[in-house]
Structure 1
Amino acid sequence: MENRRRLSVRCLTALGFLLSFAAFLSLTADRWREPRLNFANVEPATSQDIFEAPKDNIWADLRPEEADEVYQFLAKEWADLNVTRTPRHALDNFIYTLETLQPNKSDALPWAKAVLSQGLDGRSHYSYHAVGPLPVSPETRVVPLAFPFTSGRNYVSKDMPDMVSTMEFALSLAENVADITTELLGAKVDRDDPNGPDSLLAFPRTTLNDAGHLFGWVQFFRPGYNSGALSILPQGIYARINAVDGGSGGEDADSDWKVGEWFYNGVMYDSLGEFRAAVFEPGFLKTPPNVDGSWTDTEDFDAHPDGRELPTPISIQPLGPRYKLDRKERYVSWFGFEFYFTSTQATGISIYDVRFKGQRVMYELSLQEAMAHYAGDDPMASGQEFLDSFFGMGTNAFELVPGYDCPGYADYLESSLHRLGKTERLPNNICLFEFTSDHLLSRHTTATSVTASRNTFLALRSVSTVGNYDYTIDYLFYLDGAIEVKVRASGYIFGAFYARNAHKNEDEYGHRIHDALSSSLHDHVISFKADLDIAGTANDMVRLAVEPVTQTYPWDQPHFKQRNTMHLREYPVERETGLDWPKNAGEFYLVYSSDQKNAWGERRGYRIVSGTGIGSTPHLTVLNSTILEDAARWAEKDLWVVRRKDTEPRGADPFNYIDPANPLVDFTRIADGEDLLHGHHEERDGDRDAKEASGGEEDYDGDLVVYFNVGSHHIPHSGDIPNTLMHTSASSVMFVPHNFADRDPSRESVQGVRLQLKHKRESGGFPGQPGGGGGGGGDEEANQEELRLRGREGEKGGHHKLQTGANYFGAPYREGINLPLKALEPDLEKDYRSGSHRVSDLSINGSAAGMWFKGP
């Protein structure tokens, strides 16, 4: 296997929000109901015909029966490996995950992707394999899946597969210092009541350095018995642990660990004896314990401010949906938009074959990775980082709360996970709904009329709970053809212990936010992929700059010799590169069709903009992260443009978290500066020779991909206690039509009203001017003549005759509607099905090796 073993085992551990992958939900059949809430007393205006997708969803996950066939096939193919469907130990050989292998754009054959966890030489190895074609037949075969990985290999390995043994070692370590923790914290580890109010938990974070030495730190936490607030209840005691031989990871992995230095209140102690002696020395400087209490509660049932006795305003949909949904194929049609969607275990929802007005604008829109990178002045906070696809953005997308996460009228859909030989169903964890914004799409007031257009959009939503954070992920579609990707975060921050000592530099890494709690500065950078096909696959990207300029115009002479003004200047993006959002928003990033133009001779395109949210979307502040190394180079710029290749389907891989020094997918080998010129462009001198010398592709056809980031520089403050709020953590990127159509496409679909006011003169100017609207009343005959002229009866498309008063475009509500209570407030006692959630609990750690967890 690999000689280069600088992998960071980093604990994928405790503080790594490790998943407990064997504690699966046992969902009983009687809890499965029709996912959509049924408002029995509401009759839609028209009944929808049966809606079917034009073709099968080739991106859909495996059906349970398909997955079972593949499991049986692999059991025979790998009989010599003694593969088990239900592992009993971390070093067993078993199929960790099984799902659809997403087809390449150029080849849609159905294959499955299997991850094999194999124990070799005391270590767990995880390897990707392709199984197909499907369904299983004599032609089906299993082959190593290596082509999607820039490393050229299909496997990673972990030096410390059995985290359970390591956790046991940390627990024993904590028991050995019960006298110290009782003295300093008033609490100690209690195996009989581990989550009690006076209990402690101990978690390790481990790292393998360049020399191959495995070491780490153990930190103490209170369990968060009130609201599961463990991540904001760190205690300020840290112990260094060292692996004697680098960590064999076998049955007796804990025997390899030795305790080294101790750290408390800014002071490093060389040994436990030295630390114990200091603690019980008279005058020893103690820090206050970080104690749980009502301050960590996420809700207050007792407060009664004015207005809380009344329910909040809500959105309703009394006459049924206006979109069409094929639930089986996961296909959607809505006012010109059409697309397929699916869900994967690592990254959650992905969208494919996005078309607007019958033309494809994107082949794929999907999450790639979600990173959090911390900084701090203690052994834990200073080295914390997470790559959440490892824990599973789809695996941890749990059931949505109807009426809260999504409107009660939304369509709710489930997901299935094939892991450890079983199929796990996650009910109602995806929702689809149309919503009317709190602001208009457009409006205009003249002297004699007011026009208001409602801003309705379509949302496809899921929520991924990875440890302490809940990420709400939206794919939004607007009537003008715009597409937005938006992420909001909530949940508990990961705090740091607030120490009081002369070494502490106040506010260097965060703020004091409770008695013994400090916030931890961190960056959230979340990567998405957009495979754009703007009016075809041949596209170009340009930077359209708004620049100051000094110009001379003949009409200014002789009064101005020069005029200081501004103009547009276009800079083609000729090579794969990373870009940052420009200063003063002074550049437009545009993806144009290489050869298609609109009616006015302008290239058809889409603009990429930092969307609605708090500030511009960020990239990673840390330069050359010593922890992430090469695992997330995509985070170093705001967006990237690269060639689309079958061999580069993803910008990251979940197992990058295990071996960041030598990741399966190194993004720098995707965005490696290849030429983006093609077709109608003249090739630059030397380009052809350079390509041939480097083995580059000669047939690039202009099919490009944009990787873009959303997220935030999160500096938690007192308002993040107990939970971060979504409206202050939102971030998005929008793709906006730019000369894509001949006029605004939303005019055909938007709902609204034109209020035509009574007046004496024809409108068109300003009040007080000849021909301008002058206000109300009077000459009815002149008024009707003006309305006939405004109706433009003889003009194509001008069939509507305006009348004085309200002129609706689209259908308004004209009759009263009786709604059942369920339409306003879903019955969560009946409509929420999950018995419990298998959330990444910081007190339960899988092995991070095949994600095995030691059962009872």
Structure 2
Amino acid sequence: MELRTRPLVLLISTCSLAVLTCFYLFPFSNTGIDDRLRTKQKNSFQAPKENIWSELSNQEAKDVYEFVFDELSYLNLTKHPKSNRENFIVVLETLRPNKTDAVPYLRDDAAIPERWAMARVAQVMEDEPYMVHYMVGPLPVGSDTQVLPLDYVFNSGRNYVANPVQDFFAIMEFGLSLAENVSDITQDLLGAVVNRNDPSDPKGLLCWPRPSRIERGGLSMWFEFFRPGTASGARTILPQGIYVKVDASSHNTDDWTAGQFYYNGYLYDTENDFRKAWQKPDFSRAGINQDGSWTDTEDFESKPAGRELPPPVAVQPYGPRYRLDKEQKFVSWFGFEFYITTAQATGLTLFDIRFKGKRVMYELGLQEAMAHYAGDDPMQGGLEFMDSFFGMGLNMFELVPGYDCPAYADYLDSRFHQTTHSYEHPNSICLFEYTADHLLSRHSAQYSVTASRNTYLVVRSVSTVGNYDYTIEYIFYLDGAIEVKIRASGFIFGSFFAHTNEDEYGHRIQEALSSSMHDHVINFKADLDVATQENDIVRLAWEPLTKSYPWDGPEIEERNTMHIVEYPVEKETAMDWPKNGGEFYVVMSSEEKNAWGERKGYRIAAGTGMGSPPHLTILNSTTLGDSARWAERDLWVLQRKDNEPRSADPLNYFAPHDPLIDFTKMANHETLKHGEGSEYDGDLVVYFNLGAHHLPHSGDIPNTLMHTSASSVMFVPHNFADRDPSRESVQGVRLQLKGKKGSGGFAGEQSEAASGDLRTRVARRAEAGEGHKAMYFGQTYEEGMKLPLEALEPDLVGRFESEEIGVTDLGFNGSAAGLWEREQ
């Protein structure tokens, strides 16, 4: 624990703080399984090791809260904060163990790593509000438990960030006041005014800031008028085209001032200038962006042919074929094994992913989800979101059975702890097996046809951050491939259509609404351990070649052809998806080889989405600064280090030009050569991006559709096994066609004694020697099934547990910056 116990002299001097601180397959019979037996089998399955990355239990959180309140008593921490001028615990969660401590426990019989918690504290220092990170442990709380500054995971040299949001209520109050000051103008131009008594009045207006302009001395914000879109949650496609700049740099809210106004392509220096222009008879008016049925995401009335019948659904009549330890969140399926956990900022992460007993990844999970806009108005022109700031895990809400996931899926809860409270989101993770509408493999020979079903395992969650719903899934295939996939839906963040608009940043998509081009760049971490921890990465390049071959002459002197050239990646670097798919990126074991002498590897490839996942278009983003340099290329390969566990931190949002984690300090071209004489041990990590260049069009109204907004990256076995690993676990059939003797049969067909075995059983459609024959590999359905209605159409009224979903509104109050506001 050397990294964790390093004292933070800087924090002490600056902040005047004291440092106290086997693969299993259910043996189903051909006639089905008794539900009680199936339940017993599921419940009796146990993980081989404890989930050392799991969220804090409610009791652990309670004990840590009490301990921190006692140890940091000089801070006068409050349980019910009323402003950011008070000290309180914002976030409490597991501080995941260092890999150097975890691997010996997972691999050998070493002691279980110490368990620690991370506490993010809203803390006033030198009369300014900050967010400060602490580590608390070891757990359970005892005589040796300490509260220490958590600094080793940040390469900024500090564990704190200034909170520029001095008073969220003051921001909202100022917006209301400036809207009321121009209510005569808004009534004339927009046909509505703000309603102080009911800000969500569907007939009224909202006046909200763009929260991205965070300056070193405070805040400088552009406010925009919106209609609330209360019924459908459509506020982000209901901008009203009046913008007001507010200087909130002073800590004294009485000193805040409204400055420039912007409307219909014209910038006015003051409210008085805007008012004088409005009063002139030749004042140029824009349209009005009204709410209406066009924002409804449902149509209950239309009845095209076919809608009177429900669509096909998948069922699972014999129960799941994976095994799940719900307490440890450990899964086993056809050679794959892994642990599931969550975090408030990043949501779902998988650990210790193994295939056929060999670890292929230590960690696989989201790091940050960024959306960066462009436009010709003050809102869209500098708009960006870093969604871990709002919480991809905090906003993982309950999934809809039969819709988000099949009715038969297993559902897991997620837990989080804030301001001394513990919360649970029920059924926020689902796990299920699914058979695709396309085969895993097939082949037609002259007298036979072989078809193998493509069945895979999915772990899925949905994070709803404001206007967008991100479906994130990890998919496991029978051949050992792993896919990370993201799909987006929800309302776009549109811009107001003014008569001065051109199609430079988007398209006109409603009477007074324009789309805004934006990049979604969503960063993931893959800590690969392909068969061993010592790995190398190479580029296998397809290159043209002109070469003379002795067998070509004399007709051809030189042949134009191609060959593979291997380029070792010998230092930390960024890579983009190659032109024409002309390179393979393969992570290879430095030691392990298959039976043919080839190094075991996994290839990193663009997956099954809409195309190659993109990186950020904008160069040196004015808004992002150094907070998201990982977004500037497609993927990165780095040395893995305990003190570099993440590519980003949610509080980078507060300090974009001096972030807590600066990715450029991680990707600093260190060597990837290892072996004798090198301090680097060969343990590498890959950071890769998913997302899309999104140019919304009329089809994005009211919601973006998932099938056109999907992207993925796949990790595909490359010489990892001696042959296709799926052959022994896939389900399928071989049809032997009627033909001449010896034209091809079933292996071992003459051995009738084996006919009862599932892998060699022959099912004949006709008497021996007549017609076709079929042999099934794997289990088949033998009897008709009587399925309950619940298996086809779940009772959502009875099964859905959530009473209210606290979706963030993308304002400061939807983040840790305004967490205290929820206590009111």
Residue 97 of structure 1: aligned partner: 91
Residue 358 of structure 2: aligned partner: 359
Distance 1:653 1:793, change over 3 A: farther
Residue 800 of structure 1: aligned partner: 760
Instruction: Decide whether the 8 Å contact of 1:112 with 1:131 is kept in 2.
Output: yes
The AA in structure 2 aligned to 1:812 is T
**2:820 equivalent to 1:852:** yes
Provide structure 2 residue ranges, at least 5 long, that are not aligned to the other structure: 1-7, 11-31, 102-112, 765-771
Following the alignment from structure 2 to structure 1, what is the Cα–Cα distance between the partners of residues 477 and 747?
Answer: 33
Residue 520 of structure 1: aligned partner: 516
Comparing 230-239 with 194-203, which one deviates more in the overlay?
194-203
Secondary structure of the equivalent of 1:279? helix
Distance 1:642 1:399, change over 3 A: same
Residue 369 of structure 2: aligned partner: 370
Spell out the pairing of 1:519-598 with structure 2 (5 A cutoff): 519-598=515-594
The AA in structure 2 aligned to 1:670 is M
Residue 494 of structure 2: aligned partner: 495
The AA in structure 1 aligned to 2:387 is D
Secondary structure of the equivalent of 1:142? strand
Distance 1:677 1:753, change over 3 A: same
Instruction: Give CA-to-partner distance per residue, 1:283-333, whole Å, 9 cap, x none.
Output: 211111100000000000000000000001111001110000000000000
**2:281 equivalent to 1:247:** no
Q: How far is 1:843 from its partner?
A: 7.5
The AA in structure 2 aligned to 1:169 is F
Q: How far is 1:42 from its partner?
A: 6.4
Following the alignment from structure 2 to structure 1, what is the Cα–Cα distance between the partners of residues 779 and 80?
Answer: 57
Secondary structure of the equivalent of 2:781? coil
Distance 1:493 1:42, change over 3 A: same
Which residue of the other structure, out of 68, 78, 83, is the alignment partner of 1:84? 78
Instruction: Decide whether the 8 Å contact of 1:465 with 1:839 is kept in 2.
Output: yes
Residue 187 of structure 1: aligned partner: 192
Residue 822 of structure 1: aligned partner: 790
Distance 1:403 1:104, change over 3 A: same
Q: How far is 1:214 from its partner?
A: 3.9
Instruction: Give CA-to-partner distance per residue, 1:746-770, whole Å, 9 cap, x none.
Output: 0000000101111114336xxxxxx
Q: How far is 1:677 from its partner?
A: 0.4
The AA in structure 2 aligned to 1:806 is A
Residue 70 of structure 1: aligned partner: 64
Q: How far is 1:46 from its partner?
A: 9.8
Spell out the pairing of 1:384-395 with structure 2 (5 A cutoff): 384-395=383-394
Following the alignment from structure 2 to structure 1, what is the Cα–Cα distance between the partners of residues 743 and 394?
Answer: 60
Instruction: Give CA-to-partner distance per residue, 1:564-611, whole Å, 9 cap, x none.
Output: 111100000000001000000000000000111100011100000010
Residue 707 of structure 1: aligned partner: 687
Instruction: Give CA-to-partner distance per residue, 1:126-160, whole Å, 9 cap, x none.
Output: 11111111111101111000001110211101233
Following the alignment from structure 1 to structure 2, what is the Cα–Cα distance between the partners of residues 592 and 321?
Answer: 33
Instruction: Decide whether the 8 Å contact of 1:523 with 1:711 is kept in 2.
Output: yes
Q: How far is 1:207 from its partner?
A: 6.0
Following the alignment from structure 1 to structure 2, what is the Cα–Cα distance between the partners of residues 478 and 211?
Answer: 49
**Percentage of matched positions with identical amino acids:** 60
Instruction: Decide whether the 8 Å contact of 2:391 with 2:815 is kept in 1.
Output: no
Comparing 123-132 with 823-832, which one deviates more in the overlay?
123-132
Instruction: Decide whether the 8 Å contact of 1:523 with 1:620 is kept in 2.
Output: yes
Spell out the pairing of 1:198-277 with structure 2 (5 A cutoff): 198-205=203-210, 212=217, 214-243=219-248, 246-248=249-251, 253-277=252-276
Following the alignment from structure 2 to structure 1, what is the Cα–Cα distance between the partners of residues 135 and 380?
Answer: 39
The AA in structure 2 aligned to 1:202 is C
Residue 469 of structure 1: aligned partner: 468
**2:706 equivalent to 1:726:** yes
The AA in structure 2 aligned to 1:652 is A
Which residue of the other structure, out of 118, 122, 145, is the alignment partner of 1:113? 118
Distance 1:352 1:430, change over 3 A: same
Distance 1:732 1:549, change over 3 A: same
Residue 15 of structure 1: aligned partner: none
Instruction: Decide whether the 8 Å contact of 1:609 with 1:734 is kept in 2.
Output: yes
Instruction: Give CA-to-partner distance per residue, 1:753-804, whole Å, 9 cap, x none.
Output: 101111114336xxxxxxxxxxxxxxxxxxxxx5577669999x99837675
Residue 4 of structure 2: aligned partner: none
Instruction: Decide whether the 8 Å contact of 1:42 with 1:319 is kept in 2.
Output: no
Following the alignment from structure 1 to structure 2, what is the Cα–Cα distance between the partners of residues 475 and 92?
Answer: 41
Instruction: Decide whether the 8 Å contact of 2:541 with 2:582 is kept in 1.
Output: yes
The AA in structure 1 aligned to 2:572 is E
Q: How far is 1:190 from its partner?
A: 1.3
Following the alignment from structure 2 to structure 1, what is the Cα–Cα distance between the partners of residues 665 and 747?
Answer: 65
Instruction: Decide whether the 8 Å contact of 1:846 with 1:853 is kept in 2.
Output: no
Instruction: Give CA-to-partner distance per residue, 1:804-823, whole Å, 9 cap, x none.
Output: 51100001111001001001
Following the alignment from structure 1 to structure 2, what is the Cα–Cα distance between the partners of residues 719 and 730?
Answer: 15
Comparing 155-164 with 454-463, which one deviates more in the overlay?
155-164
**2:189 equivalent to 1:178:** no
Distance 1:213 1:830, change over 3 A: closer
Following the alignment from structure 1 to structure 2, what is the Cα–Cα distance between the partners of residues 583 and 121?
Answer: 54
Following the alignment from structure 1 to structure 2, what is the Cα–Cα distance between the partners of residues 537 and 66?
Answer: 32
Following the alignment from structure 1 to structure 2, what is the Cα–Cα distance between the partners of residues 746 and 566?
Answer: 31
State the superposition RMSD in angstroms: 2.3
Residue 810 of structure 1: aligned partner: 778
The AA in structure 2 aligned to 1:201 is L
Instruction: Decide whether the 8 Å contact of 1:415 with 1:429 is kept in 2.
Output: yes
Instruction: Decide whether the 8 Å contact of 2:88 with 2:123 is kept in 1.
Output: yes
Q: How far is 1:205 from its partner?
A: 2.4
Residue 641 of structure 1: aligned partner: 637
**2:734 equivalent to 1:754:** yes
**2:618 equivalent to 1:613:** no
**2:503 equivalent to 1:510:** no
Following the alignment from structure 2 to structure 1, what is the Cα–Cα distance between the partners of residues 585 and 684?
Answer: 14
Q: How far is 1:198 from its partner?
A: 2.5
Provide structure 1 residue ranges, at least 5 long, that are not aligned to the other structure: 4-38, 684-697, 765-785
Spell out the pairing of 1:400-439 with structure 2 (5 A cutoff): 400-439=399-438
Q: How far is 1:213 from its partner?
A: 6.8
Which residue of the other structure, out of 738, 746, 766, is the alignment partner of 2:718? 738
Aligned length: 774
**2:334 equivalent to 1:335:** yes
Following the alignment from structure 2 to structure 1, what is the Cα–Cα distance between the partners of residues 727 and 753?
Answer: 20
Distance 1:177 1:336, change over 3 A: same
Following the alignment from structure 1 to structure 2, what is the Cα–Cα distance between the partners of residues 209 and 328?
Answer: 42
Instruction: Decide whether the 8 Å contact of 2:758 with 2:778 is kept in 1.
Output: no
* Structure ranking higher on relative contact order (CA contacts 8 Å, 6+ apart): 1
**2:141 equivalent to 1:148:** no
Following the alignment from structure 1 to structure 2, what is the Cα–Cα distance between the partners of residues 386 and 45?
Answer: 45
Following the alignment from structure 2 to structure 1, what is the Cα–Cα distance between the partners of residues 705 and 759?
Answer: 49
Residue 16 of structure 2: aligned partner: none
Instruction: Decide whether the 8 Å contact of 1:791 with 1:800 is kept in 2.
Output: no
The AA in structure 2 aligned to 1:817 is M
Instruction: Decide whether the 8 Å contact of 2:389 with 2:816 is kept in 1.
Output: no
Instruction: Decide whether the 8 Å contact of 2:761 with 2:776 is kept in 1.
Output: no
Following the alignment from structure 1 to structure 2, what is the Cα–Cα distance between the partners of residues 301 and 336?
Answer: 45
Distance 1:325 1:631, change over 3 A: same
Instruction: Give CA-to-partner distance per residue, 1:63-113, whole Å, 9 cap, x none.
Output: 100111111111110111111122122211111111110111012321111
Instruction: Decide whether the 8 Å contact of 1:598 with 1:740 is kept in 2.
Output: yes
Residue 778 of structure 1: aligned partner: none
Q: How far is 1:271 from its partner?
A: 1.5
